[in-house]
Amino acid sequence: MNAELLAPLRAQGLAGAPHGFFGRKGGVSAGIYSSLNAGPGSDDAPDNVAENRRRIAANLGVDCLLSLYQIHSPNVVRVHGPFAGERPQGDAMVTTTPGLALGVLTADCAPILFADREAGVIGAAHAGWRGALSGVLEATVAAMREAGARRIAAAIGPTIAQASYEIGPEFEERFLREDPSSAPFFTGTGKRRFDLPGFCAARLAAAGIEDVDVLAFDTYALADDWFSNRRAVHAGEKGYGRNCAAIALPSK
């Protein structure tokens, strides 16, 4: 399958910046990793992952797709070129360098892409509940502004939806302790459920981002289209693939 046959989701607010939210279709991996697994940290064959990532980069019109060693942190890496050696640890990237695709890998966590097309600044963040609560989105916005961004648009890609995100009492207690304003994102009697994309959108709005698209696709429920860690655990599978959200600045 050619890279041109990939059909990633696009966000209207990021129009003008090559980007996409890539699910599990269009790659070469097999079995539980079928087929566009973009995660080098998975147990998939490295050659398959490399080819899948090459296809994603080609779809965005660049040769280089970068992703971090993600650690569920608020750490942002300023990127100036391809990484030399091991991937840096962190959960967000910002660049003003054309020809690079910034990618985040998810399997239920929220992928967020950012762009100020006029200023030539883009960003990408991986926001699981830990990263979102500890400030990875605010840190990404701050790093983009330091790089010259003024009018930032953001898009929250497919993630686990509230209907699929059952949580325990200690989870909610921690959120309410660290961020009392998070209370509206917990609902349900008996079984409580958390609205991760809603929480992320609210944090972005509080950071001054007025243009936020939320692509409401549930990674847990849509097994044919998206990888899901929680679904894999519930199914007793030994691993899971990674979805990739990526954004690029075109080469000059």
Kindly state the average pLDDT of the residues 20-30: 97
Q: What is the CATH number of the domain that holds 141?
A: 3.60.140.10
Whether 28 is covered by a domain: the verdict is yes
pLDDT score of 3 more than 50: no
Residue 1 included in any domain: no
Q: Omega before 35 cis (within 30°)?
A: yes
Quickly state the pLDDT bin for 4 (edges 50, 70, 90): very low
202 Cβ neighbours under 8 A, 6+ residues apart = 181, 185
> Would 70 be classed as within a structural domain?
yes
- With respect to residue 54, please indicate whether it lies within any of the assigned structural domains: yes
Query: Residue 144 domain-assigned?
Result: yes
- β partners of residue 101: 65, 248
Residue 166, strand partner residues:
193
Q: What is the pLDDT of residues 71-90, one digit of tens each?
A: 999 999 999 999 999 999 99
Position 250 scores a pLDDT of 80
Residue 2 belongs to a domain: no
Domain presence at residue 6 = no
Domain residues for the domain of 198 are 16-248
The number of domains in the chain is 1
Whether 11 is covered by a domain: the verdict is no
The predicted-structure confidence for 163-216, as pLDDT tens digits, reads as follows 999 999 999 999 999 999 999 999 999 899 999 999 999 999 999 999 999 999
